[in-house]
Amino acid sequence: MTPGLLIKNAFVIDPLSGVKGEIMDIAISNGRIVDEAPRDAEVIDAAGCLTLPGGIDSHSHVCGTKVNFGRYMSPEDMRAGRTARKGVMHVTSGYSVPTTFGNSYRYSTMGYTTVLEGAMAPLEARHTHEEFTATPHQDMLANTLFDGNWSIMEAVREKDVKRAAAIVAWTLAAVRGFAIKLTNPGGTEAWGWGEDVHSIQDLVPHFEVTPAEIIGTMIRANEMLNLPHSVHLHCNNLGVPGNFRTTLDTIDLVPDLNKERQSLYLTHVQFHSYGGSTWRDICSRSEDIARAVNGKPQVVMDMGQIMFGRTTTMTADGPMEFKLFMLHHNKWSNHDVELETGSGIIPVYYGRKSLVNCVMWSIGLELALLAKNPWQCLLSTDSPNGAPFVKYPEIIALLMSQRLRESERKMIDPRTEHFVPLFAIERELDWYEIAVMTRAAQAKALGITRIGKGYLAPGAEADVAIYPISPDQVDPSVDYQQVMAAFSRSRFTIKRGRVVARDGEVIVEGANSTIWSKAHVPPEYDMGTDPEFTKKFEQYYTVRMRNYPVQDVYLPRGLRIDTEASL
């Protein structure tokens, strides 16, 4: 750690601190933003360049067994994006599913300092944490899957919210997870029996509970535990024409239970905003979804933008991946994780000449442009499902420039405009709104402002991104190529007070933290001593209960957020 840094003449946008574009200095000492830098501080002249808090990705897939199998499945992908060892940088490879160091370096050169892994199976948590330690420049968090958890569904069936909360508390502490993730709740468990659920009122086979009951119970359990983040939901019926109705039904479920943040985070909503009844008449229903979210401040969504080209889809939604396989007839993998969840993987190609793909591309942009409040729509690609995260700069440019969208319109299937409202939308996002969507709103939604993430006021963690562009001299509507270039390659990326990347090159070894949550519950709700819960391990699991928890050695720099449960 350097003795200190003084960033001078920075054009700062810091939404959480109310700074909307001011030339100012930023002082750093001991990894934190301070009022005054030490006398021997290193000086960086930002020269009026755009300066933001470090980027935060609130939904990505970069680590864990599912991601690793995606690498195995596509050796042709691993031949792409290869870089040789250079200085402190390890050899990397992969485009849609890079190696862990490849992920870390690419995020760093884009100014990103914090990443949430979107789906960690509890039983396979050790592998995820091992890969976290090899993603050195970003602080990491893991959404933990509960969508097909047998003990949870039994608690839901018994209408025992407190027991569901206790199971979550024990599991998150055991696997060092951060938040509750529900992927196609009930559907992946149904897939284990060769079935699926097609609405939030369908019964899950053998458990006699509905997705609506699972979602409602878990939202209330989450708030009982006072966890930093809300329930993080991948809705049922992902990627199916007409699924916007399921999404609207889900939004209607959401109560307003938290005054600091949302009660429900809806992820990759582009994949859940389809009208029509078949692939032949699929159309955008983004206006319906945006209208529902605009009227529901207790809901936050991320875009799940797709971009044209090759990528690898991966999700705990096993039945959805099988549907993709039947559509594309490409390589396919399916995986079941005992009493917890499952997954599927299939490589895909999104083409400009495919009407379906062009409609999908339009919907993600529409959601961001139609959301009245940028704090409710976060920038993401569900990386790598919609596209690898390296496409973020291009998405930013598309949101800031109607001219770029019109240019793209000329290259896609000409029928697209008849199925989407995108090209009638004149709105262009500004620098402040982009700052909200890529760091401030993500920090607030995840609940990590409490540990100094997402802002640049004194006391905040010194995660800073300086981009080679001056907002007061550039019109992003016209100069969109400059916008893309700037967000692709930061001038400086500063992590916890150290310059880790400069002009697109990583220059130091990293030492990240893994952020996890521990909800403290009364002794009578300690599931580690509950006979019925422990019996599950004896009867069904391939590991004993005492071998299930992740040891501290897997988190050499663990950062725990403690909460007190209200049970």
pTM > 0.85: yes
| Consecutive 10-residue averages of pLDDT for the chain (567 residues) | 86 98 97 95 97 98 89 82 84 91 96 97 96 96 97 98 98 98 95 90 95 98 98 96 98 95 98 96 98 98 97 88 81 87 90 97 98 98 96 98 97 97 98 98 98 98 98 97 98 97 92 96 96 93 94 95 96
Q: Tokens 């299930």 label which residue?
A: 548
In angstroms, the Cα distances linking 494 to 2, 387, 440 are: 11, 26, 17
Cβ atoms of 112 and 55 closer than 8 Å: yes
Closest C-alpha to 301, from 346, 348, 264, 353: 264
* Helix (H) or strand (E) segment spanning residue 563: strand 558-564
In angstroms, the Cα distances linking 523 to 167, 170, 530, 532 are: 13, 12, 10, 16
For residues 226 and 99, what is the distance between their CA atoms, to the nearest angstrom? 35
For residues 336 and 344, what is the distance between their CA atoms, to the nearest angstrom? 9
For residues 323 and 320, what is the distance between their CA atoms, to the nearest angstrom? 5
β-strand pairing of 333-337 with 341-350: antiparallel
In angstroms, the Cα distances linking 15 to 440, 444, 545 are: 6, 11, 45
- Annotate 209-262 with three-state secondary structure: CCHHHHHHHHHHHHHHHCCCCCEEEECCCCCCCCCHHHHHHHHHHCCCCCCCCC
For residues 8 and 443, what is the distance between their CA atoms, to the nearest angstrom? 25
Amino acid at 160: D
The domains of the chain, with CATH numbers, are 5-53+455-506 (2.30.40.10), 61-66+88-449 (3.20.20.140)
Closest C-alpha to 386, from 414, 418, 362: 362
Q: How many CA atoms lie within 13 A of 58 on its CB side?
A: 35
- Return the structure tokens found at 566: 């209200």
For residues 28 and 7, what is the distance between their CA atoms, to the nearest angstrom? 8
- Reduced to 3 states (helix: H, G, I; strand: E, B; else coil), residue 523 is helix
Give the model's pLDDT for residue 86: 84
Give the model's pLDDT for residue 551: 95
For residues 164 and 174, what is the distance between their CA atoms, to the nearest angstrom? 15
Omega into 384 within 30° of 0, i.e. cis? Answer: yes
Give the model's pLDDT for residue 2: 58
Number of H helices, E strands in the chain: 18, 24
For residues 235 and 18, what is the distance between their CA atoms, to the nearest angstrom? 33
